[in-house]
Amino acid sequence: MTKSIRHIFKKKNNYRVRGNLILECDGERFFGPGRVELMELIDETGSLNKAASKMGMSYKKAWEMISDLNAQSGKPLVILKSGGEKGGGSVITDEARELIAYHKLLRKRFQAFLDKETKQLHA
C-alpha cells in the first residue's frame, strides 16, 4: 500500500483483511470451503446423508451441491450409490482428492496474501 489509511480507523481496534476463496465455472460457484468440507465428510463417513447431517445441512441441499459439482467437472468427483439391502453409500474419487489438496494449497497462499495486507493496514 503506497499510502496508509490508518487515519480512517478507530483507535485501538484490530482491523483485518478477510476473504473467501471460491473457484467458479462459467460464473457459477464450483468449489469452495463448503464443498471441501462436504466431500471430506463423505470420505470420512461413506455417506452423503451422514455428511450432510454432520454439517447441519439437509440431504436435498447436499445432493444438489454434489450434483452441481459433478456436472461442472470433467470427471465425477463423488459417486453416489443407491440404497439397497445394506443402504447406499457415497465415495469421493481420486480427482476429488486432488481438487481438495489443490484448494487447501491455494487457501494457504490466499491466507498469506490476506495476512500480508492486514500487516500493511497497521504499518
Residue 75: give its domain's CATH number.
1.10.10.10
Q: How many CB atoms lie within 10 A of CB 4?
A: 12
Which grid coordinates are listed for 5? 489509511
Tell me the pTM: 0.83
* Residue 10, in any domain of the structure: no
pLDDT tens digits for the chain (123 residues)? 446 776 777 776 788 889 999 999 889 889 999 999 999 999 999 999 999 999 999 999 999 999 999 999 999 999 988 765 566 789 999 999 999 999 999 999 999 999 999 888 877
Q: Is residue 3 part of a domain?
A: no
Neighbours of 35 (CB within 10 A): 24
In a domain, 94, yes or no: yes
Quote the domain boundaries for residue 30.
25-121
Residue 50 lies in a domain: yes
Taking CB atoms within 8 Å and a gap of at least 24, the contacts of 37-40 are: 38/62, 38/65, 38/66, 39/77, 39/78, 39/92, 39/96, 39/100, 40/100
